């Protein structure tokens, strides 16, 4: 028994037997952390393997996407604990899009709580100083307001050594205890160009669940990224492609080129999610070696033609997996009508509601950020490869 | 205080503000942090993550910070306010002023019976009952003696002793002895002040010699100093090692120097790139510095201050030695001074541009090469100004590693797959 175990036991007794019983029950019940395929709202209907949502603000895109997968209740049962792993790697404000969109993370927290989650945790093992990243990304603030808990990952004390079954490079590593212990594991990366790995999306984001990131660089980065999901595959992957950094990733420079795609990918298959992300960047998935390595290992499907796809809005969708259940009331705000608009208005003309600046709903943590280009310029900025003026 | 009197180095060890700052940062704070860490561990058992940030603990710095404070406290227990009256620069100056204070505690020798009651109560040990004298320079005006005196010989107020008033104010004494004593004291003070300047200059030049790595036998890289230090000499002449910047540094890259900055820079902070790296957007140390050792500047200027320079040794880079993809340095570089460039028929390799490097240490810190890092940052004895980051990350003849911009991406309102 180490000191932490001892302290836990002591504190555990402190809150009484009732907690101990429920807590112990939870620990026993989660023998196998990987969750099975989610059920749809309609019994008998198979959910799509991958959902792609286009044209709307990040939170609205998620509302539509999760509905197509049967709602958050298909993933989170009442009383379960949820860990959300966004990308909070850099001390950069939301408009640089180096970190996951804060409004999206907050929306996922709200959906989880609405589905009855006991506790929703959010963390990342940041590259820059973690307190600055948590603040500048505004994820900390949004998550708190949504009712989630922002968790530190700045000390190896929060990590547990686990085995990665069948891994070629990362056989053992220190992984954040929330990934080990939480009932539901939701991976919410931002899609970006990456100087080392070429692209960062779902699989690369899992590097932030591991303590020693230098190990990844030292021991064949692509193989390590492919191995990273072998300890535990996320229950759900949500790739934020609202504003895609196409050059100068992962940190983002004043010269970085962007594509304001207003797009989102949701999948339970982490490899398929990355293959779709590669396509979103305009590349064949084979360009990124780790996608092929992960598919080879059987972590998922790199070939999107073998996946059932659901496109939202339904303009280009070839098949219907049944009626999408509407989001339940309660904690959730009403859906923005933009996610439900007819196909004719999709994409080219963003509705008024979609143009509202999501990153201005709360004041920017840095006063100097006001002069910069913003992501909410609508369709005009989409193809122009918007550049930010230097700070 | 030490800065105001123009004397750092040794004076920083007597300055009570720096002493207190160091004590809190290096000796007391680790204990509080350890307690908070235990509490944080306990909170996790309840499903909460109570934050406790634990910094690196330096036993040498802790001891060096704690010993003077313990000495002060020990002296206070044994000998009253000996430190405050005799050693502390703040106390000495206040004591000096107190001698001329119109309102102060006074001992009326005529009424005194030398009973010793006042001396027993005195917290500053400043009353000589046998001689029936009170040393106003050490008196801290605690007034303990006033209530202790049975005869009323101790009083607080204006002077009532006879002196000579020439119409310009009362002069306490017109004896020849008094005049000579004052004249000698005044000349000595002027002479001491005149000597202090060259002595301080000599100390500063010795210190900058150490800081720029010219000490024989020193093999480590010259340490980088926080932004706004301007030069090692200026920095060490102004830093009182109070530890405020160390306590506010979010990445904990600022560490008190034990040996790195030489004897005069003992416990002055430097940037330890093996521990962490300096955050591009951060100005915490500049904003905190109370002594002017770090010149305040707007964030935009601070982003161009060259604290050091990186050196890339390709022969140690794992892309070249191990044929493995990496790019950790480029990924962390905030200015684009290190970037990954495509190489025909091989893996992307790092390319370094010194003109826009600010020496923040990000590449040094993250480089995974073992046992010696392929990219290291050495501090600059005199800080420079970097060129502004490029408008285009890659020059015309370079090809970006991940072929970034060559893909079309998504069309408007189209699904990419």
**Predicted complex ipTM:** 0.73
Select the more confidently predicted residue: A89 or B142: A89
Highest mean pLDDT out of A90-99, B120-129, B191-200: A90-99
Select the more confidently predicted residue: A71 or A341: A71
Lowest pLDDT segment from A160-169, A200-209, B404-413: B404-413
Tell me the two tokens of residue A265. Answer: 């990918």
Select the more confidently predicted residue: B168 or A358: B168
Domains in chain A: how many in total? 1
Quick check: B251 and A128 CB within 8 A?
yes
Does residue A14 form part of some domain? Answer: no
3-state secondary structure of B322: coil
HEC readout, B39-98: HHHHHHHCCCCCCCCCCCCCHHHHHHHHHHHHHHHHHHHHHCCHHHHHHCHHHHHHHHHH
Quick check: B393 and A253 CB within 8 A?
yes
Q: Which residues of B touch A247 (CB under 8 A)?
A: 393, 400, 404-405
Is residue B370 very low, low, confident or very high in pLDDT (cuts 50, 70, 90)? confident
Q: Nearest residue on chain B to A136, judged by CA atoms? A: B281
The pLDDT, as a whole number, for residue B385 is 94
Per-residue pLDDT at B8 exceeds 90:
no
Write down the pTM of the prediction: 0.74
Please give the CATH topology (third level) of the domain spanning B103-158: Alpha-Beta Plaits (3.30.70)
Q: Which residues of A touch B412 (CB under 8 A)?
A: 347-348, 379, 382-383
Is residue B164 very low, low, confident or very high in pLDDT (cuts 50, 70, 90)? low
Per DSSP, what are the bridge partners of residue A161? Answer: A174
Position of tokens 């098949």?
Answer: A319
Per-residue pLDDT at A121 exceeds 50:
yes
Mean of the per-residue pLDDT values for chain B?
Answer: 82
The pLDDT, as a whole number, for residue B343 is 85
Shortest alpha-carbon distance between residue B338 and chain A (Å): 10
Lowest pLDDT segment from A176-185, B74-83, B247-256, B336-345: B74-83
Position of tokens 């003026």?
Answer: A389
Q: Which residues of B touch A156 (CB under 8 A)?
A: none
Is residue A239 very low, low, confident or very high in pLDDT (cuts 50, 70, 90)? very high
Lowest pLDDT segment from A101-115, B18-32, B49-63, B157-171: B157-171
Task: Summarize pLDDT for B225-252 with one digit per residue, the tens.
Answer: 999 999 999 999 889 888 899 989 999 9
How far is Cα A328 from Cα A331, in angstroms, rounded to an integer? 9
Per-residue pLDDT at A41 exceeds 60:
no
What does the radius of gyration of chain B's CA atoms come to, in whole angstroms? 30
Lowest pLDDT segment from A13-27, A310-324, B38-52: A13-27
State the span(s) of chain B assigned CATH 3.30.70.20.
Answer: 103-158, 304-394
Does residue A12 form part of some domain? Answer: no
Angle between helices A270-281 and A289-297 (to 10 degrees): 160
Lowest pLDDT segment from A121-125, A316-320, B342-346: A316-320
How far is Cα A299 from Cα B78, in angstroms, rounded to an integer? 73
The pLDDT, as a whole number, for residue A344 is 37
Q: Cα–Cα distances in Å, from A363 out to A88, A133, A136, A245?
A: 19, 16, 11, 23
Q: Cα–Cα distances in Å, from A258 out to A240, A350, A388, B64?
A: 14, 18, 9, 52
Which among A52, A132, A251 has the least Cβ separation from residue B250? A132
Is residue A9 very low, low, confident or very high in pLDDT (cuts 50, 70, 90)? low
% chain B with pLDDT above 90: 29
Q: Where are the alpha helices (DSSP H) in chain A?
A: 3-14, 17-29, 58-68, 102-114, 130-136, 139-146, 177-181, 202-205, 213-218, 221-227, 270-281, 289-297, 352-355
Does residue A132 form part of some domain? Answer: yes
Write the burial class of residue A51 (CB in 10 Å: 0-12 exposed, 13-18 middle, 19+ buried): buried
Q: Which residues of B touch A368 (CB under 8 A)?
A: 299-300
Mean of the per-residue pLDDT values for chain A?
Answer: 78
Write the burial class of residue B144 (CB in 10 Å: 0-12 exposed, 13-18 middle, 19+ buried): middle
For the B304-394 domain, the top CATH level (class) is: alpha beta
Lowest pLDDT segment from B38-52, B81-95, B253-267: B81-95
Torsion of CA A280, A283, A287, A289, to 10 degrees: 0
Q: Is the bond preceding residue B214 a cis peptide, omega within 30 degrees?
A: no
Highest mean pLDDT out of A53-62, A366-375, B234-243: A53-62
Select the more confidently predicted residue: A192 or B393: A192
Highest mean pLDDT out of A213-222, B1-10, B215-224: A213-222
Quick check: A11 and B43 CB within 8 A?
yes
Select the more confidently predicted residue: A291 or A371: A291
Segment B267-277 mean pLDDT: 93
Q: Cα–Cα distances in Å, from B371 out to A61, B316, B358, B367?
A: 47, 9, 25, 11
DSSP for residue B412: T
| Residue ranges making up the domain that contains A306 | 48-381
Which of B233, B231, B257, B229 is CA-nearest to residue B243?
A: B257
The pLDDT, as a whole number, for residue B138 is 82
Q: B47, B304, B356, B411: which to substitute to probe chain A, counting the most A Cβ within 10 Å?
A: B47
Lowest pLDDT segment from A199-208, B207-216, B227-236: B207-216
Shortest alpha-carbon distance between residue A321 and chain B (Å): 18
Q: Is the dihedral of CA A354, A359, A362, A368 positive or negative?
A: negative
E strand spans, A206-330: 236-245, 258-259, 263-267, 309-312
């Amino acid at each position: 028994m180490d000191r932490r175990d001892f302290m836990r036991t002591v504190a555990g007794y402190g809150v009484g037997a009732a907690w101990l019983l429920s807590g112990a029950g939870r620990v026993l019940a989660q023998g196998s952390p990987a969750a099975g395929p989610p059920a749809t709202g309609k019994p008998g209907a198979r959910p799509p393997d991958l959902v792609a949502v286009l044209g709307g603000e990040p939170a609205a895109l998620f509302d539509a996407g999760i509905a197509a997968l049967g709602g958050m209740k298909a993933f989170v049962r009442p009383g379960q604990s949820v860990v959300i792993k966004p990308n909070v790697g850099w001390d950069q404000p939301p408009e640089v899009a180096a970190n996951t969109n804060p409004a999206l993370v907050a929306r996922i927290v709200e959906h989880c709580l609405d589905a009855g989650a006991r506790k929703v945790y959010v963390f990342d093992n940041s590259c820059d100083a973690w307190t600055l990243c948590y603040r500048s990304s505004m994820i900390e603030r949004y998550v708190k307001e949504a009712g989630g808990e922002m968790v530190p990952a700045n000390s190896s004390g929060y990590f547990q050594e686990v085995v990665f079954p069948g891994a070629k490079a990362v056989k053992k590593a220190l992984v954040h205890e929330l990934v080990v212990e939480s009932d539901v594991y939701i991976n919410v990366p931002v899609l970006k160009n990456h100087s080392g790995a070429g692209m960062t999306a779902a699989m690369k984001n899992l590097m932030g669940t591991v303590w020693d990131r230098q190990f990844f660089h030292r021991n064949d980065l692509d193989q390590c990224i492919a191995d990273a999901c072998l300890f535990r595959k996320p229950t759900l992957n949500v790739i934020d492609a609202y504003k895609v950094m196409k050059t100068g990733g992962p940190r983002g420079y004043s010269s970085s080129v962007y594509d304001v795609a207003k797009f989102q990918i949701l999948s339970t298959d982490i490899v398929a999610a990355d293959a779709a992300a590669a396509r979103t960047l305009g590349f064949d998935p084979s360009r990124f070696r780790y996608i092929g390595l992960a598919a080879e290992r059987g972590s998922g499907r790199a070939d999107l033609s073998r996946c059932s796809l659901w496109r939202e809005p339904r303009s280009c969708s070839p098949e219907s997996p049944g009626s999408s259940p509407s989001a339940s009331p309660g904690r959730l705000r009403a859906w923005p009508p933009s996610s439900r608009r007819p196909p004719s208005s999709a994409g080219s003309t963003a509705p008024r509601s979609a143009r509202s600046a999501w990153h201005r709903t709360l004041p920017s943590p840095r006063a100097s950020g006001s002069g910069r280009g913003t992501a909410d310029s609508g369709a005009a900025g989409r193809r122009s490869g918007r550049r930010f003026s230097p700070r | 205080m030490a800065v105001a009197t123009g004397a750092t180095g040794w004076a920083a060890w007597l300055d009570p503000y720096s002493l207190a700052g160091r004590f809190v940062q290096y000796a007391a704070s680790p204990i509080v942090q350890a307690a908070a860490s235990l509490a944080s561990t306990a909170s996790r058992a309840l499903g909460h993550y109570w934050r406790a940030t634990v910094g690196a603990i330096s036993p040498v710095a802790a001891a060096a910070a704690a010993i003077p404070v313990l000495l002060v406290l020990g002296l206070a227990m044994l000998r009253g306010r000996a430190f405050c009256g005799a050693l502390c620069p703040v106390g000495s100056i206040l004591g000096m002023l107190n001698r001329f204070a119109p309102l102060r505690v006074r001992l009326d020798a005529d009424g005194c019976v030398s009973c010793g009651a006042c001396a027993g109560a005195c917290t500053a040990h400043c009353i000589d009952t046998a001689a029936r004298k009170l040393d106003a320079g050490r008196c801290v005006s605690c007034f303990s003696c006033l209530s202790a005196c049975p005869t009323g010989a101790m009083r607080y107020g204006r002077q009532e002793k006879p002196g000579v008033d020439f119409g310009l104010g009362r002069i306490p004494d017109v004896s020849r002895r008094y005049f000579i004593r004052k004249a000698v004291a005044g000349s000595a003070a002027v002479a001491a002040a005149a000597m202090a300047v060259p002595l301080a200059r000599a100390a500063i030049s010795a210190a900058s010699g150490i800081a720029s790595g010219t000490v024989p036998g020193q093999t480590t890289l010259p340490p980088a100093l926080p932004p706004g230090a301007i030069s090692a000499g200026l920095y060490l002449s102004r830093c009182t090692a109070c530890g405020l910047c160390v306590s506010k540094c979010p990445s904990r890259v600022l560490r008190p120097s034990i040996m790195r900055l030489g004897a005069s820079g003992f416990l002055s902070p430097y940037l330890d790139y093996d521990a962490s790296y300096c955050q591009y957007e951060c100005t915490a140390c500049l904003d905190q510095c109370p002594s002017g050792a770090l010149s305040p500047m707007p964030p935009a200027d601070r982003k161009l201050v060259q604290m050091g320079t990186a050196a890339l040794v390709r022969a140690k880079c794992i892309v070249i030695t191990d044929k493995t993809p990496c790019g950790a340095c480029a990924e962390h570089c905030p200015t684009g001074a290190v970037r990954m460039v495509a190489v025909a028929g091989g893996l992307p390799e790092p390319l370094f541009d010194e003109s826009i490097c600010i020496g923040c240490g990000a590449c040094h810190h993250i480089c995974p090469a073992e046992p010696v890092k392929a990219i290291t940052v050495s501090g600059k004895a005199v800080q420079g100004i970097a060129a502004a980051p490029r408008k285009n990350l890659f020059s015309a003849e370079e090809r970006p590693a991940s072929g970034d911009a060559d893909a079309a991406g998504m069309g408007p309102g189209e699904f990419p797959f």
